[in-house]
Amino acid sequence: MYKRILLAYDGSDTGQQALLACHDIAQWSGSELTLIAVMPLPLTTLGPEGGVYSESLHDGEKQRYQTILDAGVRRLVDGGLSARGELVVGDAVTEIVRCARAIDANLIVVGHKHLEGWAARWWRGAVSKNLIEHASCSVLVVITH
């Protein structure tokens, strides 16, 4: 059923829950797992109008994201699964969809935490909602509260 699974992983509590769900599904179906960490383009804020790309911020953030990604892959491999990781930079939905198509994924797994208040939901946006609209395969949204 699911031969190639893509997990968008950020190391958060919701990401950990998604990793556990992914582990169970992959173990059951014998799937190959690809974890991606999507790092936003690092910008130094100038104000409400925008920001400027910061190479020094980029290097530090890249290392942080890579460490989180490596830990997730190691956890799955230690659990006896076939897993690899990839760090990508850009918009989360765009990069997740691109990677899913590149590996011909049958399932995308993402974590989701219900946000308190309309302002938090508006500001953060709904990656999982947009992902469902743009993905070319099934999407499993693992919800935590």
Phi-psi region of 138 (alpha: psi -120 to 50; beta: other; left: phi over 0): beta
pTM: 0.82
Q: Residue 42 is encoded by which pair of tokens?
A: 């690092």
How do residues 84-141 score in pLDDT, each as one tens digit? Answer: 999 999 999 999 999 999 999 999 999 887 656 555 545 455 778 889 999 999 999 9
What is the residue range of 128's domain?
A: 4-144
Q: Hey, what's the torsion of the CAs at 13, 8, 132, 5, to 10 degrees?
A: -120
- Rounded to whole angstroms, the Cα distance separating 145 from 129 reads 17
Highest averaged pLDDT of the listed ranges 9-13, 61-65, 69-73: 69-73
Q: What is the CATH number of the domain that holds 40?
A: 3.40.50.620
Number of domains within the chain = 1
pLDDT of residue 11: 85
pLDDT of residue 12: 86
How do residues 35-56 score in pLDDT, each as one tens digit? Answer: 999 998 765 555 555 555 566 6
pLDDT of residue 143: 85
